[in-house]
Chain A
Amino acid sequence: MNDTSTLKPGHIQGETGIWEMVIGLEIHAQISSKSKLFSGASASFGSEANRNVSLVDAAMPGMLPVINEFCVEQAVKTGLALNAKINNVSVFDRKNYFYADLPQGYQISQFTKPIVGEGEIIVDLDDGEQTTIGIERLHLEQDAGKSLHDQHPTKSYIDLNRTGVALMEIVSKPDIRSPQEAGAYVKKIRSILRYIGACDGNMEEGSLRADCNVSVRKSGEEFGTRCEIKNLNSIRFIIQAIQSEAERQVDILEEGGTIDQETRLFDTSTGETRSMRSKEDAHDYRYFPDPDLLPLEFTESWVQDIKEKLPELPDSLKKRLVKDFGITSYDASILVEEKDYVDFYQQAANGRDGKLTANWMITELFGALKKDNLSFSESPITSENLGELISLISNGTISGKIAKEVFSEMMKSKKSPSEIVKEKGLEQVSDDSEILKLIDQVISDNQDKVNEYLSGKDKLFGFFVGQVMKLSQGKANPGVVNKLLKEKLK
Chain B
Amino acid sequence: MSELLDFNLVEASKALKNKEISSLELTKAYLKSISDTSSLGAYLEIVEVKAISMAKESDKKLIDGTARPLEGIPIGIKDMFCTKNIKTTASSKILENFIPTYESTVTQNLWNDGAVILGKLSCDEFAMGSSNETAAKGNVINPWLKNKKMSPGGSSGGSAAAVAARSALAATGTDTGGSIRQPAAFCGITGLKPTYGRCSRWGIVAFSSSLDQAGPLTRTVSDAALMLNSMAGYDQKDSTSANLKMPDLMDYLDKGIKGKKIGIPKEYTQDGISEDIVKFYEKSIGWLRDEGAEIIPVSLPHTKYALPAYYIIAPAEASSNLARYDGVRYGARQEASSLDEMYELTRGNGFGDEVKRRIMIGTYVLSSGYYDAYYLKAQKVRRLIKEDFENVYKKVDYILTPSTPTTSFELGKKQDPLTMYLNDIFTVPASLAGLPGISLPVGLDKSGLPIGIQLIANSFDEAGLISTARVLEMSAGFNFIADGAAK
Contacts and interface: CB of A to CB of B under 8 A. Distances in A.
Interface of A: 55, 58-67, 94, 96, 98-100, 103-106, 156, 158, 284, 286-288, 290-294
11 contacts: A61-B98, A61-B206, A62-B201, A63-B203, A94-B320, A96-B320, A96-B323, A105-B323, A158-B328, A288-B320, A291-B210
Given A103-B324, A103-B329, A105-B326, A64 B237 contact: yes
Contacts of B236: 66
Contact of A286 (B101, B326, B366): B366
Interface of B: prevailing SS: loop
A62 B104 contact: yes
B366 A96 contact: yes
B209 A292 contact: yes
B201 A64 contact: yes
Contact of B95 (A61, A67, A103): A61
Contacts of B95: 61
B328 A62 contact: no
Contacts of B371: 286, 288
Nearest to A58: B329
A90 to B, nearest CB: 14
**Which 4 residue pairs of A and B lie closest in terms of their CB atoms, listed nearest first?**
A105-B323, A286-B366, A291-B210, A291-B209
Interface of A: prevailing SS: loop
B273 interface: no
Nearest to B322: A105
A100 B339 contact: yes
A178 to B, nearest CB: 34
B330 A286 contact: no
Interface string B310-344: 00000011011011101011100000000100010
Interface residues of B, number: 43
Contacts of A96: 319-320, 323, 366
Nearest to A94: B320
Interface in B434-477: none
A470 B323 CA distance: 80
Contacts of B368: 284, 286
B324 A61 contact: yes
Given A103-B328, A288-B375, 15 more contacts: A60-B82, A60-B102, A61-B82, A61-B90, A61-B206, A62-B201, A62-B203, A62-B204, A104-B323, A286-B320, A286-B366, A288-B317, A291-B208, A292-B209, A292-B239
Choose among A66, A100, A288 the residue with the greatest number of B CB atoms under 10 Å from its CB.
A288
Contact of B239 (A59, A64, A104): A64
B88 interface: yes
Contacts of B326: 98, 100, 105
Given A60-B330, A61-B90, A288 B366 contact: yes
Contacts of A62: 81-82, 100, 104, 201-206
Interface in B351-404: 363, 366-368, 371, 375
A198 B82 CA distance: 37
B317 A291 contact: yes
Interface in B73-93: 81-82, 88, 90
A293 B239 contact: yes
B238 interface: yes
Contacts of B323: 96, 98, 104-106
Given A61-B82, A64-B201, A286-B367, A105 B237 contact: no
A103 B329 CA distance: 8
A103 B326 CA distance: 8
A288 B375 CA distance: 9
Contacts of B204: 62
Contact of A55 (B102, B322, B339, B343): B102
Nearest to A65: B239
Nearest to A101: B328
Contact of A104 (B203, B324, B375): B324
B299 interface: no
Contacts of B108: none
Contacts of B238: 64
A61 B209 contact: no
Choose among A55, A61, A99 the residue with the greatest number of B CB atoms under 10 Å from its CB.
A61
A64 B197 CA distance: 13
Contacts of B239: 64-67, 292-294
B109 interface: no
A106 B102 contact: no
Contacts of B375: 288
Contacts of A286: 319-320, 363, 366-368, 371
Nearest to B316: A288
Given A96-B323, A103-B329, A66 B88 contact: no
